[in-house]
Amino acid sequence: MIHASEARTHEIHGARFVSYATPLTGSKELCAWRGEIPAGTKAPVHTVNREEIFLLLVGELLVTLDGSTERIRAGDTVIVNPGTAFSVENPTDHTALSWVTTSIGLEAVLADGTRITPPWAN
């Protein structure tokens, strides 16, 4: 069991990641976190080395996959395959909330080649 009070919070690129399932909390294969994307936030384009399942819980976002942008709303799910260029933008005036699941070992590569090993997914 991971209680809400035990979740670890991380912030990067204007968004907050509240980590629940990682190897540090006992997970053997998967990681899961709640993403909080404030109004006006635009995440940088990046690719990931693991599949991500991104479920929007609250709000609306513009999601771009390999250059194609689509508006998603609460209840919509985005499957981000490894190697896909991915970004999210919150053009609204409310924070959007998401739930993301991936496998342990996720790494993201930004457009400039910077590699990020997010602690909420490892």
pTM score of the predicted model: 0.92
% of the chain at pLDDT higher than 70: 100
The domain over range 4-121 is classified in CATH as 3.40.50.300: no
Query: By three-state DSSP, how is residue 4 classified?
Result: helix
Confidence at 122, pLDDT banded by 50, 70, 90: confident
**110, 45 Cβ separation under 8 angstroms:** yes
**48, 120 Cβ separation under 8 angstroms:** no
The 10s digit of each residue's pLDDT in 44-90 is: 999 999 999 999 999 999 999 999 999 999 999 999 999 999 999 99
Among 107, 115, 100, which residue's Cα sits nearest to residue 21? 100
- Sheet containing strand 15-21, edge to edge, reads 8-12, 15-21, 30-37, 96-103, 52-58, 77-80
Residues in a beta bridge with 6:
none
